[in-house]
């Protein structure tokens, strides 16, 4: 039986996934229509990069999952060794099927299955789903030339600090950039930078890397701490503080960071080049140093 549409490639449909204690091909996985993730978007997720069949900053991703679980009152169903064992089995299966050594682990926890009611039921067994997919990193051309982004008002809900599966606002924001042929939508709330639809956003000014402060409007990406560490290693000043729209538009460099993009230079914003003088519209020197440092971290911080 195959209920997946023809638009799903066979290699994806046949990939092994994990669902509530069982491993099964993705095409055979089933979730109840009364699952609160389906009805309400009542759940959480994480995306963990895999390099050379090893999980990158596994502990940090698990710590963020724990923070999100606590904020929405879902009990984390597995401890670290259990998550690790399950992820490694999926990585091995994806490698056997595709030969891909660089992958992404997607995991999702919903509150579980219950009669539809907005109030959170107590003591439900959570629904747990995981899959491994082939990583699709930015292209060499994107790294060489940088990418274009647009700005928009941050119209999403107030709890961006929770890595929720309720992503309609992010989907709408990302579609704005797709409609303009851009890579991402950089969002502003009350005149200050928050983040992009699916990335954190960083500004470089006078050689220093600056990001927005941690708040309920910004998801604390795992790369927050990683970039702080890389800046320390490279002797680059690092700070988190409010960034106004004017500062954003006048930045020397702009960077995106995420599990899939790692760090990526933004060279055009709202159709205008980022940066000044000869470097305007080109990836800058701080990006180049951090990108190389990031590649070294991948080798030393994966398990």
Catalytic (active-site) positions: 163
Asked if residue 110 lies in contact with residue 81, where contact means CB atoms within 8 angstroms, the answer is no
DSSP assignment string, 3-49: -S-TTS-HHHHTSEEEETTEEEEGGG----TTBHHHHH--EEEEEEE
Q: Which residues pair with 127 in a beta bridge?
A: 110
* Residue 63, phi-psi category: left (phi > 0), alpha (psi -120 to 50), beta (remainder): alpha
How far is it, in rounded angstroms, from Cα 263 to Cα 98?
26
Q: Which two tokens stand for residue 262?
A: 């790692």
How far is it, in rounded angstroms, from Cα 257 to Cα 262?
5
Asked if residue 117 lies in contact with residue 39, where contact means CB atoms within 8 angstroms, the answer is no
Give Cβ neighbours of residue 114 (< 8 Å, ≥ 6 apart): 34, 36, 121, 124
Q: Which two tokens stand for residue 27?
A: 């095409």
Q: What are the C-alpha distances in Å from 251 to residues 64, 116, 201, 224, 241?
A: 29, 48, 12, 19, 14
DSSP assignment string, 77-138: -S-HHHHHHHHHHHHHHHHHHH--SSEEEEEEEE--B-SS-SSPPSSPPPEEEEEEEE--PP
């Amino acid at each position: 039986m195959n209920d997946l549409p023809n638009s799903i490639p066979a290699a994806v449909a046949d990939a092994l996934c994990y669902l509530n204690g069982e491993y099964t091909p993705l095409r055979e996985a089933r979730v109840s229509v009364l699952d609160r993730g389906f009805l309400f978007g009542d759940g959480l997720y994480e995306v963990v990069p895999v390099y050379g069949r090893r999980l990158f900053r596994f502990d940090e991703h698990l710590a963020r999952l724990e923070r999100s679980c606590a904020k929405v009152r879902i009990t984390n169903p597995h401890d670290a060794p259990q998550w690790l064992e399950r992820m490694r089995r999926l990585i091995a299966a994806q490698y056997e099927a595709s030969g891909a050594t660089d992958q992404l682990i997607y995991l999702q926890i919903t509150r579980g299955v219950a009669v539809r009611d907005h109030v959170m039921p107590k003591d439900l067994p959570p629904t747990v789903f995981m899959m491994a997919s082939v990583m699709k990193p930015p292209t060499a051309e994107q790294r060489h030339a940088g990418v274009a982004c647009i700005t928009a008002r941050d119209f999403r809900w107030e709890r961006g600090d929770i890595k929720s599966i309720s992503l309609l606002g992010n989907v709408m924001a990302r579609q704005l950039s797709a409609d303009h042929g851009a890579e991402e939508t950089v969002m502003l709330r009350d005149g200050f930078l928050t983040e992009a639809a699916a990335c954190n956003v960083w500004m470089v000014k006078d050689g220093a890397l600056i990001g927005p402060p941690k708040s309920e409007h910004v998801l604390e990406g795992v790369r927050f701490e990683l970039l702080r560490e890389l800046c320390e290693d490279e002797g680059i000043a690092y700070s988190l503080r409010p960034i106004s729209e004017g500062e954003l538009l006048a930045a020397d460099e702009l960077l995106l960071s995420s599990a899939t993009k790692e760090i990526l230079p933004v060279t055009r914003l709202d159709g205008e080049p980022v940066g000044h003088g000869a470097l305007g519209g080109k990836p800058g020197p701080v990006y180049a140093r951090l990108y190389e440092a990031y590649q070294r971290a991948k080798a030393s911080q994966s398990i």
